[in-house]
Amino acid sequence: MIRTFSILLIFQCLGEGLVYLTGLPVPGPVIGMLLLFVFLLMRKTEAAKLVPGVQTLLGHLSLLFIPAGVGIMVHGKMVMEEWLPLTLALIISTAVSIVVTALCVKWLQK
């Protein structure tokens, strides 16, 4: 578990470092996930070693939603004042995600 968590943190830090050094307009954790993906493609045996720890972490994934929920409760007044832009952003981003996912699945099925 500690090994898995360490590897995930190492790749996140590498991503953050690359963003800092290059000024890419992409979040560091996204770059870190891409680096981890490439690493796991190159060393397939490592993926099997990470599975037990990753499954344990995924079992506690719901804990990551607590800060967002607290933020909404703390800033409830602002959320109520800005409900229209928030609703539009949620609807548009959901639609874009569905379309992009469908196009990716269609492309991968070929």
pLDDT at 72: 84
**Whole-prediction pTM value?**
0.61
- pLDDT in single tens digits along all 110 residues of the chain: 788 889 989 999 999 999 999 998 999 999 999 999 999 999 888 888 888 888 888 888 888 788 888 888 898 899 899 999 999 999 999 999 999 999 999 999 98
Report the greatest alpha carbon distance in the chain.
Answer: 51
The sign of the dihedral angle between the CA atoms of 78, 83, 88, 90 is positive
Burial class of 11 by CB neighbour count within 10 A (0 to 12, 13 to 18, 19+): buried
pLDDT at 100: 96
